[in-house]
Amino acid sequence: MIHPLESLAQLFEYPGETYIDRCRAAGGGAFADALGRMPVTEIQELFTSTFDWNPATSLDLGWHLYGEQYARGEFLVKMREEMRRYGVPETSELPDHMTNVLRVVARMDPETAQKFVREYVAPAVAKLVAALDQKQSPFAMLMRAVRNTLPVRVAIPELKVELPVLVGED
């Protein structure tokens, strides 16, 4: 039987023609319904604009943990080692991409997974849930499913909404 995190991991891969079917098979019926009858090209556009063009919703978890700090590079190296250890094949995505991280966690023993998720995965996923909720993205449902499937959860942070400063005439 496939681990639920493995099933969820495939839903964070770039959508193709079978994306809606994969969502339903992974238990994401409500998410599939939210996408309605969107053509695959619109789903692809939504996926790209959500995850590739906005750093706040990037699927590279190291970004949410470390930003551009040197520690992110160390995390990438650690993830590559974990991928090798647990037999997760490399893809065109960075090692800290959600798809890779979820597959690694799915293959860890429960104690190791709890420690790893507590330190790295749960904080990043909580930030992603908050950012996707703020954008009112249908992908928030998928991210909440990830959060609810992880062995450890952390609180979802409240995002600060910064209003633009309007320059008026004096």
At residue 67, what is the residue type? G
CB count in 10 Å sphere of residue 103: 23
Distance CA 37, CA 28 (A): 15
Beta bridge partners of 60: 97
pTM of the full predicted structure? 0.88
Run of H or E residues at 115:
helix 110-116
Question: Are 101 and 92 within 8 A, CB to CB?
Answer: no
Alpha-carbon separation of residue 164 from 56, 161, 167 (angstroms)? 18, 10, 9
**Domain 4-149 annotated CATH 2.60.40:** no
Query: What letter would DSSP give residue 121?
Result: I
pLDDT for the residue numbered 170: 47
Is the pLDDT at 167 greater than 80? The verdict is: no
Domain boundaries, the chain: 4-149
pLDDT for the residue numbered 129: 95
Distance CA 125, CA 132 (A): 10
pLDDT for the residue numbered 20: 93
For the segment 98-148, what is each residue's pLDDT rounded down to a tens digit?
999 999 999 999 999 999 999 999 999 999 999 999 989 999 999 999 999
DSSP secondary structure, 17-36, as one string: TTHHHHHHHTT-HHHHHHHT
For the segment 60-71, what is each residue's pLDDT rounded down to a tens digit?
999 999 988 899
